[in-house]
Structure 1
Amino acid sequence: MKDYHVNIFYSDEDEGYIADIPDLKACSAFGETPNEAFAEVLKAKESWLASAAANGKPVPPPEYRPVIYRVA
């Protein structure tokens, strides 16, 4: 089963981690750790999908994105 790609990155401006799902417009979340940001964006994804379904909005399918690892 395919699922949505999640980006997680550190934001100096926000002093924490941001997680977003590029396929779902404006679906993002914040956390003090990468794991917390990931857990929060999964909640945001469920809310996004439920809202789209309740309002008859189309839900974009997940797109394949290769995984790129960056080590600082």
Structure 2
Amino acid sequence: MKTLNQKNKQIKKPSLEYYLNLQYPVTIYPDLESGYVAHIKDLPGCLIQGETIEETMANINEARELWIETAYEAGDNIPLPSTDDNYSGKLLLRMPKSLHRSLAEAAEQENVSLNQYIVYLLSASM
């Protein structure tokens, strides 16, 4: 019978190339002082800037590779890229009764469902 340690030793860690070939979502936004800023939320601290979008994308790709290589060599956990599969589109939300009533009344005035009205408000605020 194998011990837990023996079982753990049989689990093979993916190669560095495996991690380097993963496609991580990148968020890029304008920065008034430096041009653009980009970050990869799945890789904590992986943040970079550039004067143009092209330069910023090149910089974030280099930063991603360095982040992964460093974590791999240190034996740290490398998170997998997040996807929309992580989000069902459903959200249970608790709110004060008075807010619920106000939203329901406003939705009724607009002749839409409460759900549609809340999605509209959230979208407009983004």
Matched, 1:22 2:41: yes
Q: Which structure ranks higher in relative contact order (CA pairs < 8 Å, sequence separation ≥ 6)?
A: 1
Q: Sort the Cα spacing of 1:2 and 1:50 in 2 relative to 1 into closer, same or farther, 3 A.
A: closer
Q: Deviations over 1:38-70 (max 9, x none)?
A: 1100000000000001100000000114xxxxx
Q: Deviations over 1:6-47 (max 9, x none)?
A: 0110012x3310011010001011110111101100000000
Paired residues of 2:34 and 2:50 also in contact (CA < 8 A): no
Matched, 1:53 2:65: no
Instruction: Pick the aligned partner of 1:9 from 25, 29, 35.
Output: 29
Tell me the matched-pair count. 64
TM-score, scaled relative to structure 1: 0.81
Amino acid at match of 2:46: C
Where in structure 1 do 4 or more consecutive aligned residues deviate above 2 Å?
A: none
Which structure dedicates a bigger proportion of its chain to helix? 2
Percent identity over the alignment is 34
RMSD: 1.5
Gaps of 5+ in 2: 1-20, 85-126
Amino acid at match of 1:15: S
The CA distance in 1 between the partners of 2:34 and 2:68, in whole Å, is: 28
The CA distance in 1 between the partners of 2:22 and 2:66, in whole Å, is: 19
Gaps of 5+ in 1: 66-72
